[in-house]
Amino acid sequence: MPNALHNILLIARREYTERIRTKGFLIATVLIPTLMGGGIFGMAAIASHSATKSHIAVVASQTQPAADLKHELENGKDTKMTVDIVAPTPQVLSALDRQVQDKQLDGYLVIHQDAQPATFDFTPRSSADIATSSAIKDGLHSVLSHEYLAQHGLSASDIDTFMQPVTLNIVGKGGHKGDSTASFIVAYILFFLMYMVVLLYGMNVARSIIEEKTSRVFEVLLATIKPDELLAGKIIGVGSVGLTQVGIWMAAAGLFAARAGSMSAVTISVTQAIFFIVYFALGFALYSSVAAALGAMTNSEQELQQLNMFLMIPLFFCMLMIPVLIANPNSTLSRIVSQIPFCAPLLMNFRISLSMPQPWEIALSMALIVITIYAVLWVSSRIYRVGILMYGKKPNLPEILRWLKYS
């Protein structure tokens, strides 16, 4: 029906041009990535500068291993602490306690070397200071290991070789060396991007329908076009705004990554990008149709707020399923949940990022989504047609079921 298509596109175009010109769109487009990017980089910056800088005292009767520990803690990879070594005198502990109380010290470590093996008591100013205590623990472990190995006749260079951390390379299917952390990060980024946009713009679809109901424009529109054309047009129009926004964000991120160059430990492959776009479009269309149904059932934003759990619940379910997918992307449970139409856009896409499922699984999930979109749209346009003419009254479930029977 070229006529229906003509109408849908007209509605979509109007919706698109009106929304894209608003200040809200501009602000969201610029502000959200700025805030999120700022947040991420800010956190990264804090994390990289988070080497513990605590000032502690070590109470030890012998110079070793206290001196080695001091060296380790003051010049270690992740620690930049200040360490004072004090000899155990009867008054030292009460003096240290006072210093801790006056905040001159972050804590003190007492080494009891007469015991076999030696015991270590750390008194921190705040027991929540996990970073300091774990740095001390690591430092002690390293120092004691060195000492033990040296006692058994190993040279310093041998000890260093021996103490090297092990690197485990993850080899993917094609024999490519992959970084599993990177693929997790990509999968998570894509997941949350989709989650956010679906939620944001899905609600926008519902809102635009309510807006039309309050302004009563639909009465003129429905005198020419069918409710399903109107709904489809709205979903496409508002959806394109969402896609435009994500497109801008991704292009900006791409440019940024290209500039930043080396930071692209996180790379999105072409396949991932294509599947993301396809599943994003499908998922968005699906959730928007549900939102359209919610919008059709309600008369105000307040009522909509009460119903938006119908959008949230499947999304939350998807989040709960993520650990299952990570544990085993190809288990039966993973396969089943990634076929549920409301989860497939997020979960199948997540699985594709983790490990490529069978082609038929992808095809099936897409087909199921398309069928569901059509079914939801069919239902919502019926609810819409009857619902708008019964405005002012909140429908109950039997009424909604009865609406579905109307042509």
- Among 85, 83, 75, which residue's Cα sits nearest to residue 51? 75
Encoded tokens for 198: 């679906």
Does residue number 218 form part of the binding site for other proteins (CB under 8 A)?
yes
| Dihedral over Cα of 220, 221, 226, 232: its sign | negative
**What's the Cα-to-Cα distance from 131 to each of 51, 72, 81, 248, rounded to whole Å?**
9, 15, 11, 40
- Among the listed ranges 36-44, 130-138, 340-348, 384-392, the one in contact with other proteins (CB under 8 A) is 384-392
Does residue number 7 form part of the binding site for other proteins (CB under 8 A)?
yes
The single residue among 18, 74, 121, 158 that binds other proteins, judged by CB under 8 A, is 18
Does residue number 10 form part of the binding site for other proteins (CB under 8 A)?
yes
DSSP assignment letter at 79: B
Encoded tokens for 4: 């229906």
Does residue number 220 form part of the binding site for other proteins (CB under 8 A)?
yes
Does residue number 207 form part of the binding site for other proteins (CB under 8 A)?
no
Whichever of 2 and 323 has its CB closer to other proteins, that residue is: 2
How crowded is the C-beta side of 143, counted as CA atoms within 13 Å? 21
As a whole number of angstroms, the distance between CA 281 and CA 79 comes to 47
> Taking the complex as a whole, how short is the minimal distance between the CB of residue 302 and other proteins, in angstroms?
20
The single residue among 116, 215, 262, 332 that binds other proteins, judged by CB under 8 A, is 215
Does residue number 216 form part of the binding site for other proteins (CB under 8 A)?
yes
Helices (H), 152-269: 156-163, 180-215, 218-222, 227-260
Does residue number 14 form part of the binding site for other proteins (CB under 8 A)?
yes
- Among the listed ranges 136-144, 223-231, 256-264, 350-358, the one in contact with other proteins (CB under 8 A) is 223-231
Whichever of 10 and 324 has its CB closer to other proteins, that residue is: 10
As a whole number of angstroms, the distance between CA 208 and CA 339 comes to 30
The single residue among 32, 67, 93, 222 that binds other proteins, judged by CB under 8 A, is 222
Number of residues lying near other proteins (CB under 8 A): 23
The single residue among 171, 223, 265, 270 that binds other proteins, judged by CB under 8 A, is 223
As a whole number of angstroms, the distance between CA 189 and CA 342 comes to 19
Does residue number 217 form part of the binding site for other proteins (CB under 8 A)?
yes
The single residue among 97, 158, 160, 219 that binds other proteins, judged by CB under 8 A, is 219
Whichever of 137 and 216 has its CB closer to other proteins, that residue is: 216
Encoded tokens for 264: 């692209």
As a whole number of angstroms, the distance between CA 292 and CA 385 comes to 12
Does residue number 221 form part of the binding site for other proteins (CB under 8 A)?
yes
User: CB under 8 Å to 406, separation ≥6 — which residues?
Assistant: 382, 385, 386
> Taking the complex as a whole, how short is the minimal distance between the CB of residue 356 and other proteins, in angstroms?
45
As a whole number of angstroms, the distance between CA 205 and CA 239 comes to 8
Q: Which residues inside 31-50 make contact with other proteins, applying CB under 8 A?
A: none
- Among the listed ranges 78-86, 215-223, 256-264, 323-331, the one in contact with other proteins (CB under 8 A) is 215-223
**Helices 180-215 and 270-297, packing angle to 10 deg:** 30
> Taking the complex as a whole, how short is the minimal distance between the CB of residue 219 and other proteins, in angstroms?
4
The residues that bridge with 56 in the sheet, in sequence order, are: 83, 107
Does residue number 8 form part of the binding site for other proteins (CB under 8 A)?
no
- Among the listed ranges 6-14, 151-159, 172-180, 345-353, the one in contact with other proteins (CB under 8 A) is 6-14
Tell me the helices (H) and strands (E) count for the chain, helix number first.
16, 6
> Taking the complex as a whole, how short is the minimal distance between the CB of residue 294 and other proteins, in angstroms?
21
> Taking the complex as a whole, how short is the minimal distance between the CB of residue 79 and other proteins, in angstroms?
59
Does residue number 28 form part of the binding site for other proteins (CB under 8 A)?
no
As a whole number of angstroms, the distance between CA 237 and CA 232 comes to 8
Helix (H) or strand (E) holding 109: strand 107-112
Classify 142 as helix, strand or coil: helix
As a whole number of angstroms, the distance between CA 15 and CA 1 comes to 21
Q: Which residues inside 224-263 make contact with other proteins, applying CB under 8 A?
A: 224-226
> Taking the complex as a whole, how short is the minimal distance between the CB of residue 223 and other proteins, in angstroms?
4
Whichever of 112 and 226 has its CB closer to other proteins, that residue is: 226
Which residues of this chain interact with other proteins, rule CB under 8 A?
3, 7, 10, 14, 18, 212, 215-226, 385, 389-390, 406-407
